[in-house]
Structure 1
Amino acid sequence: MSEKTMESSGKGFLVLLLPISFLIIFLVSTWRFLLALVVLIIGFNIWQQYQWQQWCQRVNPVFHQLVRENQGKITPMDLAMRGSFPGPTAKRYLDGKASEFGASIVNAGSGNEVYYFITASILGNILDSSEPVKTLSAQPVTTAARSLLAPPATQTLLAEPEVEVELAAPATHTEVKPNLAKQLVFGSLIQSELAKRLNVYSSTVYKRRNDPDFPEWTRSRDPDGIAWSFSEKTKEFFPIEES
């Protein structure tokens, strides 16, 4: 190896050695400050996480109430308006809850997202709405039922004082009305039972149960002309007694 080559290699080594030396000197002289800075950053992150958990504990009752009121469907704006805090904070909270409970997130367009949380009551309503309605099978009319439901079998027309003419009128009813006493075993009906009685889909009853005109609507479809009311507390339907 020539003397010129060795000189070039020595200069290159010095160029690398000088920055490394300065770095070592800097770390030795400032390691206490650097360690204190790292501990400070870690402590600050732990404090922020603690503050967030405490805040979430205060927001949880508002979140649970919204889940019940909106049947599990929540947007960040709903939560932000109810709790009076910024939208990004509401979105961060809902993202955490969606990950915790496995909620579905649907993009509604324009950057808006809808979070769907499924509860036991909501799942029960979905299953009820998917249950097909079974039509009531026709039953033969008994003699007692015919006397109550069918018009008089004979009509007497007096053409003259001494002459009577009888005209036969066939009975038009082909089935007996459902026995309400047998259906109301527990004093009420569930959604699928009332749907079968009204001869509609269970989902139709679910959609209209909170309408103001629900009792009149059920009266018009009930075979006995009975009006029904919905209890939000028990999720059951009760007959309205006529005053």
Structure 2
Amino acid sequence: MSEKPIEDNGKAFLVLLLPISFLIIFLVATWRILLALIVLAIGFKIWQEYQWQQWTIRVNPIFHQLVRENQGRLTPMDLAIKGNFPGTTAKRYLDGKASEFGASIVNSEEAGQSYYFITASILGNILDSSEPVKELPAQPVTKTARSLLAPPTTTTLEEEETETESIPEPTLTHEEAKRSLEKQLIFGSLIQSELAKRLNVYSSTVYKRRNDPEFPEWSRSKDPDGIAWSYSEKTKEFFPVEEE
């Protein structure tokens, strides 16, 4: 009864020993070739990395120029067009720069991936747009205000009617009303920090998204009153979007 298990164990050992023997013989006979292949693979990898580093050095000036021109916002398409190389290469380059400088990556359906690189000058612009306090223009004192401030005087009924008739009622056309509304928007326009408080987000978030085509809809979803906002490059302020 005890001889059969011993015999089975010996056969199992021989089954394992045979392929191990062939593997050892193969390694002894081909170790020089295998070592040469490993060295070649490592050398090729090092050469590729060296070539990439040399290529990035040539591309860095283009990258720095685009960062200045686009206020820190870049897409792989921008870099690929400017440098005339494939988009996959541009994306690999921007991924490396984003990891190096801690840039933010924003995904959108229309523009795809956008990389935001915040430089000292761009950060200064963010802080400058958040600091100033808007000064309201001087308003003329109306008749009502003068009547409240001045001591009461006795006037005849004729004088009151003459004074009332001398003040023409304003009649505005559609274009004039539109221009008047734009002038009054100084009360409805917000700087970056004010809009960020209204939307309950960081000021840097508003800065990153302000030129995004989807900014009005995004701001509408954040606004407590459901108002869509648009950014004006000219005044560096945010205005409510008029409903059509």
TM range (shorter): 0.5 to 0.7
Question: Structure 2: which 5+ runs fail to align?
Answer: 139-185, 193-229, 237-244
- For residue 77 of structure 2, what is the aligned residue in structure 1? 77
RMSD: 2.8
- For residue 121 of structure 2, what is the aligned residue in structure 1? 121
Q: What CA distance in whole angstroms lies between the structure 1 residues aligned with 2:26 and 2:89?
A: 41
Q: TM-score when scaled to structure 2?
A: 0.56
- Matched-pair contact (CA < 8 Å) for 1:103–1:117: yes
Q: Where do residues 112-191 of structure 1 align in structure 2 (5 Å cutoff)? A: 112-135=112-135
**Cα 1:20/1:206, change in 2 over 3 Å:** same
SS across alignment from 1:208:
coil
- Structure 1 residue 137 displacement after superposition: 11
Q: Where do residues 1-243 of structure 1 align in structure 2 (5 Å cutoff)? A: 2-109=2-109, 112-135=112-135, 207-208=233-234
The higher radius of gyration belongs to 1
**Cα 1:97/1:132, change in 2 over 3 Å:** same
**Cα 1:129/1:110, change in 2 over 3 Å:** closer
Q: Give the fraction of aligned pairs with identical amino acids, expressed as a percent.
A: 72
Residue-by-residue CA offset, 1:49-71 (whole Å, 9 max, x unaligned): 00000000000000000000000
Q: What CA distance in whole angstroms lies between the structure 1 residues aligned with 2:26 and 2:110?
A: 51
Question: Structure 1: which 5+ runs fail to align?
Answer: 139-197, 211-243
Q: What CA distance in whole angstroms lies between the structure 2 residues aligned with 1:111 and 1:65?
A: 20
**Cα 1:131/1:205, change in 2 over 3 Å:** farther
Task: Give the number of the structure whose residues are more often helix, by fraction.
Answer: 2
**Cα 1:205/1:113, change in 2 over 3 Å:** closer
Q: What CA distance in whole angstroms lies between the structure 2 residues aligned with 1:47 and 1:22?
A: 35
- Matched-pair contact (CA < 8 Å) for 1:133–1:201: no
- Matched-pair contact (CA < 8 Å) for 1:129–1:206: no
Q: What CA distance in whole angstroms lies between the structure 2 residues aligned with 1:44 and 1:61?
A: 27
**How many residue pairs get matched?**
151
- Structure 1 residue 111 displacement after superposition: 8.4
Task: Give the number of the structure whose residues are more often strand, by fraction.
Answer: 1
- Structure 1 residue 201 displacement after superposition: 6.4
Q: What CA distance in whole angstroms lies between the structure 1 residues aligned with 2:235 and 2:137?
A: 26
Residue-by-residue CA offset, 1:110-148 (whole Å, 9 max, x unaligned): 68200000011111111111124153798xxxxxxxxxx
